[in-house]
Amino acid sequence: MQTEVIIAESRTALGKNNAKALRKDGRVPATVYGNSGEARSVIVSSRDLIRIYRGKLGKNTPITLQIGGDNSSETVISYRVDRNPLSLAIEHVDFLRITDESRVKVRVPLKLIGSAPGVKLGGMMMQSISSIIIEVSPTKTPEFIPVDLSGLGVNQVIKVKDLANENFVIKSELNAIVVSVTAKGKVEDETSPGRK
């Protein structure tokens, strides 16, 4: 499995004061768990996390934590990332252990591809969903899921179930509408003042 590598260290001193001191020093407290192993506390560099999260797969990127002190390593993905609500600085990460056989649930962005014929005919296109949750092997997590607009005419929709792919299982609501094209006259009628 191809992964990004982060140098980590075991965290033995716990508590809010210790976590605050770590963040002030540019480090992030984190927890590693899952895959039948014991949970363990580690410390990682905030700079390393930011670099990885800005990559193609974002927080879905497989990571190898090389943990100093006991010369061990953990292969993980970032299951939960807690940020400061004001500064958006990373405050804590929950890492989930993974293997080549693992199946994980991740949120993946959608990318509109091509042009909708319905728009060229005067329709108005609206995208209602920008990402979906899928269950997938960590080695096959897509950077994005393409949404092909080439067959989308006036008064037609593309639903989540239309994005099915053999490499993953969709876990979001299958009948939810991703994108639609509506006749402009119909939209105007429905939003006109006094319409019941």
Asked if residue 196 belongs to a domain, the reply is no
Q: For residue 70, what are the CA distances in angstroms to 10, 49, 184, 187?
A: 8, 22, 65, 63
Helix H or strand E segment including 18: helix 16-24
Asked if residue 30 belongs to a domain, the reply is yes
Q: The sheet that has 131-136: what strands, in order across it?
A: 145-148, 104-113, 131-136, 168-170
Closest listed residue to residue 146, CA positions, set 113, 116, 114, 181? 113
pLDDT in tens, 87-116: 999 999 999 999 888 999 999 999 999 999
Do 115 and 180 belong to one domain? yes
pLDDT in tens, 55-81: 999 999 999 999 986 778 999 999 999
Do 151 and 116 belong to one domain? yes
Q: CA 127 to CA 110: how far, in whole Å?
A: 10
pLDDT of 185 reads: 66
Mean per-residue pLDDT, 148-160: 95
Which range (9-23, 30-44, 107-121, 158-172) has the least confidence?
A: 9-23
- pTM summary value: 0.79
